[in-house]
Amino acid sequence: MIAIVDYGVGNLFSLSSSVRSLGAEVRVTRDAADLQIRDQSHKMAELRLTLCVGDDGVRLLPGVGAFADAMAKLEATGLVPVLREETQKKPLLGICLGMQLLFEKSCEYGEHRGLGLIPGEVCPLADDLTDPALKVPHIGWNAMDIVPGREDDPLFKYVKNGEYVYYVHSYYAKNCAASTLATSDYSIPVTGAVRQGLVYGTQFHPEKSGDTGLRLLKAFAEL
C-alpha cells in the first residue's frame, strides 16, 4: 500500500491516479498511522509536502511551497534520520520541491540546509537565465535531454531521449553535474533528473507528464 498525505493543496488526484495506474494500492489520508515507515513509530505533523511510503520500502517525496518551510516541517516529524538511513537500502524519488530537498542547501530567501543526500545546491532560476524574455516560474512542457552515458540508467527503462515532461518551478539544482541524469533547455541546461546511489529526483512532475511520466514512475517502482 502507498499512502499519500492529504494536506489540502497540491496534486493529490493526479499523483494518486498515476500511482494507481502502476497497479499499486493507494490511500489518500490525513491519518498519521497510515504513513508510518516500517518499524518506526514517529508521528507525522501535517506537511506542505507529501511523503508517500510503500510497504516495500520504495518512497516518493513530492513537495510544494517554500524550501525552508518544507524542510522545517519535515524535520519536525523526526523522519529525516529515517530517510537518510533507509535510502541506503531502498530507492527514494523526490519530485519538484521534493527533489530540491535532497540537496545540501537552497538559496531560496536566504541559505537553508537540505537533506544532504545529493551534493549540490538549489538556486534562483531567474538569476542564471540568458534569455530575458523567458518567464519565471518556468511552467510548461520541455524536452528531457538525457545526459550522454546515462541512457541506460534504470529510471529511463521505458523512456527515451527527447520525450517531453512538465515543469513548474522557480528554483533549480546546480553544481551537481556528477549526479545529473537529464536536463531540459530553458536558455540554460536546467537540471531535470538526478541520481546519487538509490536516491533519485526529478524537477519535473512525472504525474503531470502524461504517458512519459507514467512510464518513468513504472521504471522507478520496479527498482
Question: What domains are defined for the chain?
Answer: 2-221 (3.40.50.880)
pLDDT tens-digit readout, 5-17 = 443 334 656 666 7
User: In percent, how much of the chain has pLDDT > 90?
Assistant: 54
CA contacts within 13 A on the Cβ side of 172: 29
Residues 74-82: what's their mean pLDDT? 78
From the list 184, 198, 202, the residue with the least C-alpha distance to 147 is 184
Catalytic residues, which ones?
Answer: 96, 205, 207
Distance CA 123, CA 139 (A): 17
Check pLDDT > 60 for residue 145: yes
The pLDDT mean for the chain works out to 82
pLDDT band at 81 (very low <50, low <70, confident <90, very high): confident
Answer yes or no: are the C-beta atoms of 153 and 140 closer than 8 Å.
no
Q: What is the mean pLDDT of residues 35-46?
A: 37
Opening angle at CA 166, ends 162 and 168, nearest 5: 135
| pLDDT surpassing 90 at residue 30 | no
Enter the pTM of the model: 0.84
Q: Confidence class of residue 46 from pLDDT cuts 50, 70 and 90?
A: very low
pLDDT at 206: 94
Residue 208's alpha-carbon distances to 19, 51, 56, 90, 139, in angstroms, are 12, 17, 24, 24, 12
Q: What is the pLDDT at residue 15?
A: 67
Kindly tell me if the per-residue pLDDT of 53 is higher than 60: no
- The pLDDT assigned to 139 comes to 98
Instruction: Report which of residues 154 and 221 the model is more confident about.
Output: 154
